Amino acid sequence: MHLFDVLLLERQLECGKYMSEPANIKIEADERDTYEETNEEPVAMIEESPPDIGQDGEDGDSDSSWNMECNQVLRVKSIYISSAILAAKSPFFYKLFSNGMKESDQRHATLRITASEESALMELLSFIYSGKLTTNQPTLLLDILMMSDKFEVVSCMRHCSQLLRSLPMTTESALLYLDLPSSISMAAAVQPLTDAAKEFLANKYKDLTKFQDEVMNIPLAGIEAILCSNDLQVASEDAVYDFVIKWARAQYSRTEERREILGTRLLPLVRFSHMTCRKLRKVLACSDLDNEQATKSVTDALLYKADAPHRQRALATDVLTSRKYTERAYKYRPLKVVEFDRPYPQCIAYLDLKREECGRLFPSGRIYSQAFHLAGQGFFLSAHCNMDQQSAFHCFGLFLGMQEKGSTSVTVDYEFAARTRPSGEFVSKYKGCYTFTGGKAVGYRNLFAIPWPSFMADDSLFFINGVLHLRAELTIKQL
């Protein structure tokens, strides 16, 4: 390798963008580029154009020839460089300067680029010498990143990625960054940037209900980033499934293509184990899904629901299965429900609340469960932090409500219970009979008959491994 060589930049111009100039003009530059050594010769820029272009009186044949061959018009720029420096930073330049040039004592190497790539390449060469870039414009930084990938300058790719992460991100820029791995050869160098783009989209659109119309127009890669989030704020996993089906139907009109996208890209991001049994039955009947895949997803979900609690926790914390089984930030807490139809319509609903969730209820918060159904009626549980009306202290309350509003009424025998230490068995707290009409609820403002501080204390009898286990048993004896 020579200490200094000449790099020729041949800039290919697009049709209609060529600026007519006198032929064979040589421009001597008085200033040196930022990456030149002080003992180098001044940079010489030579711009070449065909002598027939731009002259008056040309016949139609010349114009036709120009139109056909315009993509081959070149403007050449010569730059003095240190081949050793470029080769040290780039495997591409190492091979360029090693293969053939060394043996032939050749002093010139030629790069052919489009006119739109020139600014990015000049910035790249400057970075190789100085380790710095002179721009913070997102569009140019992205061009430099692509140019760095083309010429295998990983250090510049990482630098561009870092600068882009430090700039304000938009939905449009985040979607561009998500597409980078498919358009570059060294995707690992921009992994932090694509991760940041995924995080941005997941945070911005975590409330699917609030941004539903906008999210419906986001492409597949963005939807995947949003659905991967554990912090997605949705009523339940049922709502996630409904959104996925709605989005796929809007984006893919062909049944085969829609089924392929759902099966390979989107359904693996739906957490079927936290869907209600009522919705799982609808999954089996959905014509947009592959029947075999739908059956397996529902079967796995039901097996998870029937599994022992310690096995469920293990699946939710295992690296390989956590995404499939971890609960999101649901607005309505999931329930485990067991239904019986004999001798009377009956169901048992289990609601688990973490200590932190209960702590956030103080002083007047509420947590609602997902809906569950008995004899065609929808019910829900709600946990409250109340003010005890008689003793004037805060306490924990539990209520049972009926969803449907209107004139429908149903009489329900109910019982509330909670697991207690040290036995770990469920102990009945209250039972009663209540005739529900739509929108009504029944419950107890002080379920455990103790003040809030005693309920939340470290030695509380009601938290087992940091979890409060509640049970509501409902029976309808008269329909």
DSSP notation for 138-152:
HHHHHHHHHHHHHTT
Confidence of residue 96 (pLDDT cuts 50, 70, 90): confident
Confidence of residue 10 (pLDDT cuts 50, 70, 90): low
Residue 45: which residues within 8 A CB-CB, separation 6 or more? 26, 27, 29, 77, 78
Q: Which helix (H) or strand (E) holds 110?
A: strand 108-114
Take residue 478 and report the two structure tokens written for it.
């008269």
Q: What is the third-level CATH fold of 332-475?
A: 2.60.210
Q: Can you tell me the distance from the alpha carbon of 350 to that of 348, in angstroms, rounded to the nearest whole number?
A: 7
Can you say whether the dihedral through the CA atoms of 55, 61, 66, 69 is positive or negative?
negative
Of 113, 109, 106, give the one whose Cα is nearest residue 96: 109
Q: Which tens digit of pLDDT belongs to each residue from 151-210?
A: 999 999 999 999 999 999 999 999 999 999 999 999 999 999 999 999 999 999 999 889
Q: Which residues belong to CATH 1.25.40.420 in the chain?
A: 205-325
At position 463, the amino acid (one-letter code) is F
Pair 336, 469: CB distance under 8 Å: no
Q: Which residues belong to CATH 2.60.210.10 in the chain?
A: 332-475
Pair 161, 193: CB distance under 8 Å: yes
| pTM (whole model) above 0.95 | no
Collapsing DSSP to helix, strand or coil, 136 comes out as coil
| CATH class for the domain made up of 205-325 | mainly alpha
Q: Can you tell me the distance from the alpha carbon of 241 to that of 275, in angstroms, rounded to the nearest whole number?
A: 9
Q: Can you tell me the distance from the alpha carbon of 389 to that of 361, in angstroms, rounded to the nearest whole number?
A: 18
At position 421, the amino acid (one-letter code) is R
Pair 128, 153: CB distance under 8 Å: yes
Q: How far is CA 17 from the centre of its chain?
A: 40
Q: Which tens digit of pLDDT belongs to each residue from 48-62?
A: 344 443 444 444 444
Cis check for the bond before 343: say yes or no (omega within 30 of 0). yes
Confidence of residue 388 (pLDDT cuts 50, 70, 90): confident
Query: Cα-flanking dihedrals φ and ψ of residue 392, to 5°?
Result: 60, 40
How high is the mean pLDDT of the chain?
Answer: 84
Can you say whether the dihedral through the CA atoms of 186, 191, 193, 195 is positive or negative?
positive
